Amino acid sequence: MKRIVEETNLTGLDALMGEQVLLLCGNYFYAGKLTAVDKTIAELTDASIVYETGEWSAKAWRDAQPMGPGPTFVRIQWIEAFRRGK
């Protein structure tokens, strides 16, 4: 099988720009589309607080509450782990 591979120099959160992500922070988990990142802040659009993930293999979070219109900003220093979202 042949694949087209695009190589980038992006790593970390920068590599996930424009994708659905889950940010696992000290107090809460945040899910949404990663729309901007700088040295101190990650910006999510259509963000939710994920109170209960459920099974990691499930197609949706068990309990995710939308945070309303407009972007949500998360401090980078509070992010303990991150991954692509569902």
Nearest to 50 by CA among 74, 68, 72, 32: 32
7 inside domain: no
When divided into structural domains, the chain yields a total of 1
Cα separation, 6 vs 59, whole angstroms: 27
Kindly state the tokens that stand for 48.
């939710």
pLDDT higher than 70, residue 7:
no
Tens of pLDDT, residues 29-46: 999 999 999 999 999 999
Residue 45: CATH number of its domain: 2.30.30.100
Helices (H), the chain: none
Cut 0.95: pTM above it: no
Tens of pLDDT, residues 41-83: 999 999 999 999 999 999 999 999 999 999 999 999 999 999 9
42 inside domain: yes
